[in-house]
Structure 1
Amino acid sequence: MDSAISDPAPRPSLPDQGATPLARTADNGLKIVVVGGFGVGKTTLVRSVSEIRPLNTEETMTSAGQGVDDTTGVDGKTATTVAFDFGRISIDDRSVLYLFGAPGQERFWFLWDRLFAGTLGAVVLVDTRRLADSWYAIDRLEHHGTPFVVAVNDFGDATSHTPEALRDALDLPEGVPLVFCDARERTSSRDVLIALVEHLRTLHSSPSPLQETA
């Protein structure tokens, strides 16, 4: 399917999950990956915004993971993604985002490069309590040349950090959008995806350096 960015469209509505068939006119499938550290809320974001009942590969955490997965700051976490999450949201009658939530544990990072294949853009979900966990995701996306936005998930203290301080801590290039969100809220998660689509549209419409010098 064509992955070009189409003209600006109105913000998508949020239909009931599990009850929305794919429009027959949908011919523009856009693959989006949600990445970030362990326990940052990737599964929650995909689950909250998907217009279909999302596929997830969560498994109960056991004692076998002790000493392997760093649970500092997420001590109450009882389940974890072991492959990827999958959801879908329609932008308009033609354009559909297919969402893939990547596992956050370091032992599953080898899956990321394959998951990035064919990806139009990405969301890096950030927990301000564990900012360093986001560095690898940002590094891999920059390595692949994949456009992305950074979404700061609200765990109660996100807004106590200024955007400037967070950008500096994450060493974000000036052109990378940074937004705040609550991954539990469908409209908030939707707005993150809209920010990404708008960023992709801006990049798509901007002339390349070769065009500028032609």
Structure 2
Amino acid sequence: MVSVPSPTPGAHSATAAEPPSAGQPPLPVKLVIAGGFGVGKTTAVGAISEIRPLTTEAAITEVAAGVDDLTHTPGKTTTTVAMDFGCITIDPTLKLYLFGTPGQDRFGFMWDDVVEGALGGLVIVDTRRLDDCYAAVDYFEHKDVPFAVAVNAFDGEVQHDLDEVRWALDISEHVPLVVFDARETGSVRDALLVVLDVALTRAQSAAVS
């Protein structure tokens, strides 16, 4: 069992970098935050966004509750039915536009539209429900989109170590796998920077070859 520090009080309100100097706007970069139902995608976007996030949350009906597993998220009363959107200025030269996908399989037809034009993706994993995470990992692998996997530490801990998670999800060795807290601004930022590093490395390799 792997533990991470508890979130700092008040850390859910993102602090943006200083605005860019007049003249040259920051480079816009699109990143996608994906994963299964209830893994923390909306929470992550809300934790890091410097604007009030755009969400498409709908109440979970009795019918949906019979389809979506609420065992580990009994307090969850809403679900994303289209996408989440937020943004964060990393520094005066770079601004990330974040698009969160819906987690349920029945909304999978939206993924292609959400992912189009993205530089990379962050796949969020809940170790209590690894079966729900296969689809997102497979999607990015098959689409050949650079991505990293972030294990969300619910209650400050995860149920399996990272080697076990990598083996269970059959994640390639070149795909970064990290532990983070979707509620904590700095933790989400660090996970997104891992995605940027993966995407940059891919682009540099393509330029050389």
TM-score interval (norm. to shorter)? 0.7 to 0.9
CA distance in 1, matches of 2:68, 2:161: 29
Change (3 A) 1:22 1:103: farther
Answering whether residue 15 of structure 2 is matched by residue 15 of structure 1, we say yes
1:135 — aligned with what?
A: 134
CA distance in 1, matches of 2:152, 2:54: 22
Offset at 1:22? 7.6
1:28 — aligned with what?
A: 27
Residue 91 of structure 2 aligns to a residue in which SS? coil
Larger RCO (CA within 8 A; separation ≥ 6) = 2
Offset at 1:207? 5.3
Q: Which amino acid aligns with 2:115?
A: F
Q: Is the 8 A contact 2:20 2:26 kept in 1?
A: no
CA distance in 1, matches of 2:110, 2:19: 29
Gaps of 5+ in 2: 1-13
Matches within 5 A, 1:18-97: 25-97=24-96
Change (3 A) 1:22 1:82: farther
Gaps of 5+ in 1: 1-13
Q: How many residues align?
A: 195
Q: Is the 8 A contact 2:31 2:121 kept in 1?
A: yes
Change (3 A) 1:123 1:156: same
CA distance in 2, matches of 1:164, 1:122: 21
Offset at 1:203? 2.0
CA distance in 2, matches of 1:69, 1:81: 12
Q: Is the 8 A contact 1:73 1:129 kept in 2?
A: yes
Change (3 A) 1:21 1:91: closer
RMSD of aligned alpha carbons: 2.2
CA distance in 1, matches of 2:21, 2:196: 19
2:175 — aligned with what?
A: 176
Residue 95 of structure 2 aligns to a residue in which SS? strand
TM-score, reference length from structure 1: 0.83
Offset at 1:102? 0.6
Q: Is the 8 A contact 2:88 2:96 kept in 1?
A: yes
Residue 194 of structure 1 aligns to a residue in which SS? helix
